[in-house]
Structure 1
């Protein structure tokens, strides 16, 4: 490993850019590893420091780590500004008593590519708590560092306070520090790829972070200031190449949120991914929807859009997406409700979609859901999960194609809102229009095996099948006798499916599938003879076999044989790979 060139190390480390523990270990190996790993460790340092912020596991020990990170972060900002000869350098020349800040080992700020504004505010608040702690103030060297930072940033020493209590009660100080840090940060970041706002959740969270949610806390004062970051002079440079924007903000005022989105649409025009959580705030929905429409329309490269927890009372968002139909490839709606189908019917005009997902939406309408996957000739993935109502019909005005020639993944799960008529209609449509499926998943009221037979015969290249039947006991012997699935690798049967040994045997002989994984749950017919057939005809192929809540208990001998066969095959395969 010591002879690997830096380019190879950087390529390896790029696959671990979300693993802070590994990256931290890498920087301690040697200088070459450190140089190549540090840029990934500091790509999103605040997220790594506050990864436990929405859990009860965040403790005083984590606060100390966050405080030390913030101190390194701020010292690097100050040093860069001094070297550049900016305002801080000129101020230092006027005040020769202000000591120099020691230069950092790396320009850490130059590595930052992902920034969450809420994490930024929380980091500053945690740093303020850290430097005002009794333990910190008992260390004279740390106090000197704090005094240097204060002197350089705002020409003010905390020593003028008679006690830590006086320091903590000076609300204007933390606001001024926040503004100065944000100004320096935006001025020094050359290229930001990801920007988000993900606030602390009220519950669950640790006791020490819960104090930040209280009225009048330092953090609440900070959150009112950092949203103006978009208006700093250098923002049009650092944010001009923004690729991803994620919003999960429920505490901000509607007008300030609206203005932030409008300012962002003015600065950023190349965003490829937008993920937006409305948090069901009906009082803000119209103001935010109008601003979000402008942000969407201003993007020339928008490929992915996700909307969460939203009550659609207007057409703004979908009209904005309709104007981006030529570039939009992925659309995800999670818990998006609407009192009228007209507010979401423009989905059908997004003819370039490759992935469409809709989770747990309530349309509050007696009309049928006016959308079919045949609207999208480029669609690769189609997923519906607990959508109400469930009836699928075709809107002829938006019909681009009468088939979906390249659909590979079909997922239809209606665990709560199910209707046999709706399920039959959509599965039949899959059989008629989709011949290249690789993944088929269905958890709905299937009333006829002929529907599944239709799909499996037309899509003979299926690799994954997951079907759940919790309502009516169905016999699939006829299905097993006629289908040929030569590429099937994963099979999961949940619920009351009935099949005899002989049809199972004929299916395995005729298809000879590379079936490596089988999962059975709540099955009433599976016995030792079924398992014996699987072990015989899938020998050298089957690697995983899971059973849950079977009505008939498998014998100890058959379970032992299955374990031995699978372990023996895995051992031989590993040995061959090693050789």
Structure 2
């Protein structure tokens, strides 16, 4: 490994950019490893420091680490500003206090590519708690560092405070520090790829984080200040190449969020991914929707959009997406409940979609869902999960194809609301228009085996089948006799599916599938004879076999035989791999 060139090391480390422990170990191997690993460790350093922020596991020990990291972060900002000749005057470099903010080993700020505003605010608040702690103030060298940082940032020394209590009660100081740190940060980041606001959940949370949620806490003061980060002088440069934007509305007011989105739309035009969580916002004044529409329409490369926890009261967001139909490839709606069906009818016009997901929305209708696959000739992934079945008013002009040749994954799960008409309409659409499915998953009211026949006969290349039948007992003998699935690798049957031994045997002999995983749950017909057929026909193939809540109990001998056959095959395969 010591002879590998830096380019190879960088390629390897890029796969571990989420693993802070490994990256931290890499920087201590040698200089070459350090140079190539440090940029991934500092790509989003605050997230690593606050990885436990939403859990009770965040302790005072973690606060100390966060405080030290933030102090390093701030000292790097100060040093860079001194070197560049900014408004922190160069004369301070000759000051006896300057050695306390000695030059860092690397320009860490130059490595930052991802910034979460919630993490930034929490890091500053945790640093403020850290430098005001009794343990910190008992160390004279640390106090000198703090005084230098304060005096250089805002030309104000905290030495005048007689007690920590007086320091903590000065709210104006933390406000000034926040503004100064954010100004320096935006001024020195040359290119930011990712910007987000993802607040930590209040419960369960660490006890030491609860203080940040109080009304007059330092953190709330910090939050109000960094919302203006978009208006800092250098923001049009550092944010102009933004690729990914994620926002959670839970901790900001509608007016400030909408202003931020509008300002961002004036600066960024190349965002490829937008994820927006309205946090079940009931914003009838439409401020957020209108601002989000402006942000969407200003992007020339938007490929992925996700909207969560939203009561959709207008057409603005969908009209904005319609203008991006030429570039948009992925659309995800999670717990989005439109007030009117016409607010989401523009989905049909997104003709370049490759992935469409809709989870847990209430569309206030009991009619069938007729959104045809023929609207999306490039669709690869389609998932409807726990969505109230509905009809969407669709303009026939939106239908631009008579098939969906690219669809490979189809998932339709209706656990809360189900209707046979909806299921039948969608299944027929799959059978008629989608011939290249690889993954088929359905948990809905399937009233006829003919629907499954239509799908399985038209999609002979299926690799994964997961079907659930909790309502009507269905016999699939005819389906097994007619179907050949030569690529089937994963089969999961949940609920009351009935099938005899002979049809099962015929299906396995005719198909000869590489069926490595079988899962059966709540089945009423499966017996020892069925298991024997599986072991005989899938010998040397089957690696995973799970049965849950079967009505008929399998004998101990058959269970033992199945376990021995599978373990023997796995052992032989492992041995062969080692020998090769």
State the TM-score, normalizing by the size of structure 1. Answer: 0.97
Mean alpha-carbon deviation: is it higher for 393-402 or for 327-336?
393-402
3-state SS in 2 of match to 1:33: helix
Mean alpha-carbon deviation: is it higher for 478-487 or for 382-391?
382-391
Where does residue 199 of structure 1 map in the other structure? 199
Where does residue 239 of structure 1 map in the other structure? 239
Shift of residue 477, structure 1, vs aligned partner: 1.0
For residues 215 and 170 of structure 1, the distance between their equivalents in structure 2, rounded to whole angstroms, comes to 15
Shift of residue 365, structure 1, vs aligned partner: 3.7
Where does residue 41 of structure 1 map in the other structure? 41
For residues 55 and 199 of structure 1, the distance between their equivalents in structure 2, rounded to whole angstroms, comes to 13
For residues 565 and 247 of structure 2, the distance between their equivalents in structure 1, rounded to whole angstroms, comes to 51
Shift of the 97–521 alpha-carbon distance from structure 1 to 2, 3 Å rule, reads closer
- Any conservation in 1 of the 2:211–2:217 contact (CA below 8 Å)? yes
For residues 402 and 202 of structure 1, the distance between their equivalents in structure 2, rounded to whole angstroms, comes to 50
Where does residue 212 of structure 2 map in the other structure? 212
- Any conservation in 2 of the 1:27–1:34 contact (CA below 8 Å)? yes
Where does residue 296 of structure 2 map in the other structure? 296
Deviations 1:9-68 (A, max 9, x none): 111111111111221222222222222111111111111111111122211111111111
- Any conservation in 2 of the 1:390–1:417 contact (CA below 8 Å)? no
Deviations 1:104-148 (A, max 9, x none): 121111111110011101100000000100111111221122122
Pair 1:448-2:448 in alignment: yes
Map 1:343-492; keep pairs closer than 5 Å. 343-365=343-365, 368-369=368-369, 371-390=371-390, 395-492=395-492
Pair 1:501-2:511 in alignment: no
- Any conservation in 1 of the 2:248–2:277 contact (CA below 8 Å)? yes
Where does residue 180 of structure 1 map in the other structure? 180
How many residue pairs get aligned? The number is 579
For residues 518 and 141 of structure 1, the distance between their equivalents in structure 2, rounded to whole angstroms, comes to 65
Where does residue 261 of structure 1 map in the other structure? 261
> What 5-or-longer segments of structure 1 have no aligned partner?
none
For residues 516 and 285 of structure 1, the distance between their equivalents in structure 2, rounded to whole angstroms, comes to 55
Where does residue 116 of structure 1 map in the other structure? 116
Where does residue 274 of structure 1 map in the other structure? 274
Deviations 1:519-541 (A, max 9, x none): 11111111222122111111111
For residues 411 and 120 of structure 2, the distance between their equivalents in structure 1, rounded to whole angstroms, comes to 38
Taking only aligned residues, the RMSD between alpha carbons, in angstroms, comes to 1.6
- Any conservation in 1 of the 2:24–2:41 contact (CA below 8 Å)? yes
State the TM-score, normalizing by the size of structure 2. Answer: 0.97
Where does residue 551 of structure 2 map in the other structure? 551
Map 1:78-89; keep pairs closer than 5 Å. 78-89=78-89
Where does residue 573 of structure 1 map in the other structure? 573
Where does residue 166 of structure 1 map in the other structure? 166
Shift of the 29–547 alpha-carbon distance from structure 1 to 2, 3 Å rule, reads farther
Where does residue 308 of structure 1 map in the other structure? 308
For residues 105 and 571 of structure 2, the distance between their equivalents in structure 1, rounded to whole angstroms, comes to 47
3-state SS in 1 of match to 2:212: helix
For residues 40 and 94 of structure 2, the distance between their equivalents in structure 1, rounded to whole angstroms, comes to 38
> What 5-or-longer segments of structure 2 have no aligned partner?
none
Deviations 1:455-483 (A, max 9, x none): 10100000110000111111111111110
Shift of the 365–448 alpha-carbon distance from structure 1 to 2, 3 Å rule, reads closer
- Any conservation in 2 of the 1:392–1:422 contact (CA below 8 Å)? no
- Any conservation in 2 of the 1:345–1:370 contact (CA below 8 Å)? no
For residues 123 and 255 of structure 1, the distance between their equivalents in structure 2, rounded to whole angstroms, comes to 25
- Any conservation in 1 of the 2:373–2:433 contact (CA below 8 Å)? no
3-state SS in 2 of match to 1:40: helix
3-state SS in 1 of match to 2:240: coil
Mean alpha-carbon deviation: is it higher for 284-293 or for 265-274?
284-293
For residues 397 and 367 of structure 1, the distance between their equivalents in structure 2, rounded to whole angstroms, comes to 22
Mean alpha-carbon deviation: is it higher for 314-323 or for 101-110?
101-110
3-state SS in 1 of match to 2:447: coil
Shift of the 284–136 alpha-carbon distance from structure 1 to 2, 3 Å rule, reads farther
- Any conservation in 2 of the 1:341–1:369 contact (CA below 8 Å)? no
- Any conservation in 2 of the 1:434–1:459 contact (CA below 8 Å)? yes
Where does residue 101 of structure 1 map in the other structure? 101
For residues 341 and 392 of structure 1, the distance between their equivalents in structure 2, rounded to whole angstroms, comes to 6
Deviations 1:420-445 (A, max 9, x none): 11111111111111100011000001
- Any conservation in 2 of the 1:371–1:392 contact (CA below 8 Å)? yes
Mean alpha-carbon deviation: is it higher for 101-110 or for 348-357?
101-110
- Any conservation in 2 of the 1:98–1:152 contact (CA below 8 Å)? no
